[in-house]
Amino acid sequence: MTERLTGMYAALMTGLDDAGAFNEARQRSLTDYVLKQGLTGLYVGGSSGESGLLGVDELAEQQGIVADCAKDSAAKLIAHVGMPNLRNSVRLAQQASDLGYHALSALPPHSYPFTDAEIEGYYRDLSGATDLPLIVYEVPIRTGRPIPLDSLVRILDLPNVTGIKFTSTDMFKFSMLRRRRPDSSYFFGFDEIYLTGGVLGADGGIGTTYNILGKLYVAIDAALRAGDLARAQELQDVSQIFVEALLDTGVLPGMKAAFRVLGVDVGQTRAPMALRMANDAAEAHMRAVLERPEVKAWLV
């Protein structure tokens, strides 16, 4: 199966209890909230979901809960399965296939300074583990180094690999990839400059702040595709106001503070990730930006 995916996906966050353990009830509450955003779907188990701080059993449980929450919706589900070792990645990939997920995605292996050949081998093995379409991932800020263009082209040529999530500001590289492999799907991963990727041909976006402002990003993408760049830029400015506020708190801790302000308690981020200010101050900080009229207009 090599379905070509497009559209706007929330990089789903994770619900934890007050002690930092994975919490089913909070995950369901969070997922139900995000499903109301009108997005194409959810990207489950990625960095925005604190996957680097969760165990494989927790990620497997999360996959099942999200699938159950979304079963009566039209949302497409992409399971991020990029673990530090291939065995766990394959385990999560095969479970996602059994649960009816529509696609997989994965960070490249990142625990050691792997060679390009080792990264290509990882994606080759993972792409063969199921029949689901696989979206690979270029994210130098997480892995510590970019994957060379020629290597990415070879990865995009692997069976079942249908696209890439591109979270890099190297837009020339993005454009070269699109010219070399125009039939692949291209998702842009920097929320605050989604318009940049869209103008250069992204087929959609996958982002953290879509969890709260999904309606806004759908509107940015719609304006872009209608050729209304002035409107798209106006809306992108709104997203940047929100993202700029998160820089003061830390992105994921600030997002969770914003959720608490909205009445959706998903806990704190798991240690050692923490707020950059006291919890009460963080909530007041995020409440102030959520109450700005231009931001509030896009809340569900």
Catalytic residues: 137, 165
Q: Which string of DSSP letters, residue by residue, matches the chain?
A: ------EEEEE----B-TTS-B-HHHHHHHHHHHHTT--SEEEESSGGGTGGGS-HHHHHHHHHHHHHHHTTS--EEEEE---SSHHHHHHHHHHHHHHT-SEEE-PPP-SS---HHHHHHHHHHHHTSSSS-EEEEE-HHHHSSPPPHHHHHHHHTSTTEEEEEE--S-HHHHHHHHHH-TTSEEEE--GGGHHHHHHTT-SEEEESTHHHHHHHHHHHHHHHHTT-HHHHHHHHHHHHHHHHHHHHH-HHHHHHHHHHHTT----PPPTT---SS-HHHHHHHHHHHHTSHHHHTT--
